[in-house]
Structure 1
């Protein structure tokens, strides 16, 4: 699977979380919420070093990743993280 993080979304995470080059951002599965790939689950985001990388991408020296144990959630989809200008926050899209 692939992770694509737009420059606009990466800038938002850098400003909101205070990220710098060399940091890690984990996308993780959490119970509850609304998703188009897994009912009853959604994605969370946290600044945390990886334990078992399943997928990753690097934007501006920051690694965005998903742990191996959370790959089931994506059901063969790639994760696209874009910036929603209307709501002024990142949004997740899933592409096969």
Structure 2
């Protein structure tokens, strides 16, 4: 699984969540909500340092954005793109089918 974080989203995470180099952001599937590909589930996130059980990760400005293998059920067959929604003033998640 590949993870891409747009520049606008990176700015939001760093400013709104007060992230610093060495921190991590864990993306995971959670009950309730909706995504482009899931009904009844949405993307959750929490500040957490990654372990060795990773499904995908990207490091930007010293911050590791990642998903764990236990969430393969949620991210299976997709790459995650995290962007920023200017109207809602929050991250927005897109799922791109793996080729």
Contact preservation (8 Å) 2:50, 2:64 = no
Q: Which residue of 2 aligns with 1:95?
A: 96
Equivalent residue, structure 2, for 1:44: 44
Secondary structure of 1:70's counterpart equals helix
What is the RMSD of the two structures over their aligned residues, measured on CA atoms? 1.1
* Contact 1:24–1:65 (8 Å) recurs in 2: yes
Give TM-score, length-normalised by structure 2.
Answer: 0.90
List runs of 5+ in structure 2 lacking aligned partners: none
Per the normalisation by structure 1, the TM-score is 0.92
Partner of 1:32: 32
Does the 8 Å contact 2:26/2:48 carry over to 1?
A: yes
2:75 corresponds in structure 1 to 74
Q: What's the offset of the Cα at 1:71?
A: 1.8
**Structure 1 portions without partners, runs of 5+:** none
Equivalenced residue count is 96
Distance, in Å, in 2 between the alignment partners of 1:60 and 1:7 is 11
